Amino acid sequence: MTSQLCPGKMAGPAARSWAGGPVNPFKGQREAAIRWTLRICALISVVGLFLMVAFLLRESLPAWREAGFTNLFAADWNPGRGKYGILIFLVGTMAVSAGGLMLGAPLALATAIYLHAYARPAWRRVIGKGLEVLAGIPSIILGWLGFTTLVPLVRSLAGGTGMGILPASMVLAVMILPTVATIARDSLDAVPESFAEASFSMGATRWQTLRRVIIPTAWPGIAVAMILGLGRALGETMAVAMVIGPATAFPRNLTTPTHTLTTKIMLEMGESTGVHRSSLFAMALVLLALSTLLILLVRLLSRKAVQEFPGGVLTC
Amino acid sequence: MADRAAGLFFKAAAAVSLAVLAFIIGIILVKGLGTAVRPSFLFGRPQAMKEGGGIGPMFFSSLYLTLLTTLMVVPLGVGAALYLAEFSRDGRLVRLVRWGTESLSSISSVVFGIFGMIFFVIYMRLGYSLLAGALTLTLMNLPTVMRVTEESIRAIPWSYREASLSLGASRWETARRVVLPAALPGITTGAVLTMGRIMGESAALVYTVGIFVRKPPLSPLQPAAPMAANIWHLYTEGALIPDWMRVASGEAAALLVMVLLLNLGAGALAGAIRKKMGILH
């Protein structure tokens, strides 16, 4: 069974399908009506997505029109004086996501390798369940925990407010850990058993087999795991908002307050009007573009994986 | 030698991962469970300017919102998955739906939140309300419900359907009497896990449902304040309440216990259904 944590994944084509299958599929008009109802259910996600993009575009229109592209992508944010540059927040988002991935991905990958190659079945189950539980912990709770334990710790070690990119990256590392670990484990598991057996029969040790055979074969899936982890980090709001500061300034170091796209939207949506508010919607569009980019990257990797290894190592 | 070292290293990594989880749950419970289990806190009235307030309306809001959203997203998601797995022939339509769900599932919850504010709260004139939040969360959780349901439908052996069809059942009869019951344990697990996600959601609710109320909401058209969103309120404006740290810690513990119960209960519930129905696979 594949992971429920894997957001990009939809079940692939069935081994067998109804297409061209048994005849006499429907009985009369009632069944046709049911089929249409179900089809409408299926289309709701598409309609919802379309509405979302349309309304975000509509709301951000004043920002594009009155502030303009160069103003929006400048470093200067001061709505009172007509400056709507979002660069600070874009940099903040990139920094905390990259930091979260750098801290979280190695631990996640090592855990995945343990689950795949070393764990006894009982431990495999326990840690697998643990990752599922970790994935289910609300982000507001991780934020609260970061605010009450991590921030004082960082403050006592580095001085200042204790808020900034470092604590935010640490919270995000925990958030992406289950995503990356489960998907990476699934792609390691998908490497055919015979690969490992062939390697063992040549006298290779377990570590040699992992390093030279299993991990290289599973790498597209591992890359996908990291990209999806990055996607989760980019969009995270509450957990970051409680430990990032906030302050509308480029961070001078890892422990000075700054802002991200999500936290800026969260904190100012309630009390802004006009072009200021509209520019927050423009930030939401930028976020949307970033996550779409990552999804495209995942697609590209899947295609590459299928070309290189038609048997299919990618579970996600 | 290198092999031994590698084994130890990976084992240590897994231990750290597990320790992180234990640390998170441990600290939250140690700091807040003592407060959370008091009935005067969990069901009590919130206070604004003085100490000793409870989270009764927030607790109720969380349950209400979770129920309302589940009632919308599960039927819709199951219907959509049923269409994809059992009724579709049109490859283009299926590809479109998959593309839509995939894109939806990658969108940040704060973006869902401000869309919900613009579309449901303002454009549809629902105001800050449980319904506006439930609709927003429905859209947000639809991909998960669809994916889990489709996976459990596809796991059903093809022979079940053939047996049903050979007895003269139509496709809908087959879907309703054979496919759906056999997929029920999987669908239930997915639904309960989704309830956990709904209960823990905050970013999508701040601008659709509300973050603080004095009385429990009765109608779905009233504003409410789910626990997760209320913690955000305490964090940003809590200084008004003298003991806001205590309230927030207690609320975080209450929320965590609810989410853990849902997460751990999901598998057990599915097992019970399987046993009762005599499903073997």
Distance from the B45 Cα atom to the nearest Cα atom in chain A, whole angstroms: 22
The domain that holds A228 is classified in CATH as: 1.10.3720.10
Tell me the chain B residues in contact with residue A267 when contact means C-beta distances shorter than 8 Å.
236
* Pair of tokens at residue A261: 């796209």
Q: Averaged over A123-145, what is the pLDDT?
A: 96
Residue B48 lies in a domain: no
Using a CB–CB cutoff of 8 Å, tell me whether B200 touches chain A. Answer: yes
Taking contacts as CB-CB distances below 8 angstroms, the residues of chain A near B177 are: none
Grade residue A4 by pLDDT with cuts at 50, 70 and 90.
very low
**Which pLDDT score is estimated for A307?**
67
Contact B104 A45 (CB under 8 A): yes
Among B115, B137, B199, the residue to mutate for chain A (most A Cβ within 10 A):
B115
The answer to whether the CB atoms of B108 and A270 lie below 8 A apart is no
pLDDT tens track of chain B, all 281 residues?
788 999 999 999 999 999 999 999 999 999 999 999 999 999 999 987 888 889 999 999 999 999 999 999 999 999 999 999 988 877 899 999 999 999 999 999 999 999 999 999 999 999 999 999 999 999 999 999 999 999 999 999 989 998 998 998 888 889 999 999 999 999 999 999 999 999 999 999 999 999 999 999 999 999 999 999 999 999 998 778 888 999 999 999 999 999 999 999 888 888 888 888 876 55
Domain assignment present for residue A92? The answer is yes
Task: Among B83, B97, B262, select the one facing A46 at the smallest CB separation.
Answer: B97
**Rounded Cα distance, A186 and A35, in Å:** 35
A294 to chain B: closest CA residue: B106
Is A12 buried (19+), middle (13-18) or exposed (0-12) by CB count in 10 A? exposed
Closest-CA residue of chain B to A46? B100
Per-residue pLDDT tens digits for A28-69: 788 888 989 999 999 999 999 999 999 999 999 999 998 888
Is B147 in contact with A10 (Cβ distance < 8 A)?
Answer: yes
The boundaries of the domain holding residue B241 are 2-42+53-277
Tell me the CB-side half-sphere exposure of residue B264, using CA atoms within 13 A: 9
B147 in contact with A at a CB cutoff of 8 Å? yes
Enumerate residues 6+ apart whose C-beta is below 8 A from B63. none
pLDDT band at A109 (very low <50, low <70, confident <90, very high): very high
Residue A233's domain spans which residues? 88-308
* Cβ within 8 Å, pair B89-A19: yes
Residue A249 has phi, psi (to 5 degrees) of -155, 150
Q: CA dihedral defined by B232, B233, B234, B236, rounded to 10 degrees?
A: 80
3-state secondary structure of A173: helix
Out of A81-95, A221-235, B156-170, pick the least confident.
B156-170
List, as ranges, residues 51-110 from B with C-beta within 8 Å of A: 75-77, 79-80, 82-89, 93, 96-110
Number of domains in chain B: 1
Which site among A26, A31, A38, A149 would you substitute to test the B interface, given the most B Cβ atoms closer than 10 Å to its Cβ?
Answer: A38
Three-state DSSP at B95 gives: helix
Identify the weakest region by mean pLDDT among A22-26, A195-199, B150-154, B225-229. Answer: A22-26
A237 to B201: CB separation less than 8 angstroms, yes or no: no
Residue B167 lies in a domain: yes
**Is A60 a domain residue?**
no
CA A120 to chain centre: 29
Q: Cis link prior to B220 (omega < 30° from 0)?
A: no
The predicted model scores a pTM of 0.92
Size of interface A-B (CB pairs under 8 A): 287
A254 CA to centre of own chain: 22
- Across chain A, the runs of DSSP E, i.e. the strands, are 77-78, 83-84
Mean pLDDT of chain A: 88
**B228 touching A, CB under 8 A?**
yes
* Cα separations in angstroms, B2 against A203, A226, A239, B14: 15, 26, 39, 19
Query: A250: which 2 tokens?
Result: 């480029």
- Whether residue A41 lies inside any domain: the answer is no
- B196 Cβ under 8 Å from any chain A Cβ: yes
**pLDDT value at residue B43:** 94
| Residues in contact with A7: Cβ distance below 8 Å, sequence separation at least 6, in sequence order | A179, A228, A231, A232, B105, B106, B143
Residue A18 within any structural domain of the chain: no
Which residues, in sequence order, are CB contacts of A190 under 8 Å at separation 6+? A218, A221, A312, A313, A314, A315
For residue B154, list chain A residues with Cβ-Cβ distance below 8 A: 11, 14
Phi, psi at B242, each rounded to 5° = -60, -40
| Cβ–Cβ < 8 Å for A214, A205 | no
Whether the per-residue pLDDT at A2 is higher than 80: the answer is no
8 Å CB contact of B106 and A231: yes
- Tell me the C-alpha distance between A181 and A178, whole Å: 5
Distance CA A132, CA A130 (A): 5
B147 within a domain of the structure (yes/no): yes
The helix/strand/coil state of A73 is coil
Query: Looking at residue B272, which CATH number applies to its domain?
Result: 1.10.3720.10
Residue A10: pLDDT above 50? no
The mean per-residue pLDDT over the stretch A102-127 comes to: 96
Return the pLDDT at B140.
97
Domain count, chain A: 1
DSSP letter (8 states) at residue B46: P
List the end-to-end C-alpha distance of chain A, in Å, as a whole number: 11
Facing residues of A77 across strands?
A: A84
User: How many Å lie between the alpha carbon of A315 and the closest alpha carbon of chain B?
Assistant: 13
Residue owning tokens 């349309």: A54
What angle do the packed helices A87-113 and A215-235 form, to 10 degrees? 140
* Inter-chain touch A242–B235, beta carbons under 8 Å: yes
* Chain B residues whose beta carbon lies within 8 Å of the beta carbon of residue A41: 75-77, 79-80, 82-83
Q: Which of A280, A285, A290, A288 is nearest to A67 (CA)?
A: A280
Do the domain assignments include residue B35? Answer: yes
What's the pLDDT score for residue B268?
A: 87
Cβ neighbours for A29, distance < 8 A, ≥ 6 positions apart: none
Whether A5 is covered by a domain: the verdict is no
Is the torsion defined by CA of A15, A18, A23, A25 positive or negative? positive
pLDDT in tens, A252-291: 888 899 999 999 999 999 889 999 999 999 999 999 999 9
The answer to whether B185 and B244 are in contact (CB under 8 A) is: no
Instruction: Note whether A139 and A70 are within 8 A (CB).
Output: no
CB B174 within 8 A of CB A25: no
Q: Which SS3 state, helix, strand or coil, does residue A78 take?
A: strand
Look at residue A107 and tell me if it is in a domain. yes
Please tell me the distance from the alpha carbon of residue A87 to that of residue B89, in angstroms, as a whole number.
Answer: 46
- List the single residue in B75, B118, B229 with the smallest CB-CB distance to A55: B118
Is A291 part of any domain?
Answer: yes
Q: Does residue A26 lie within any of the structural domains?
A: no
Cβ separation A177–B123 shorter than 8 A = no
Q: For residue B74, what pLDDT is reported? A: 97
Question: Is position B47 within any domain?
Answer: no
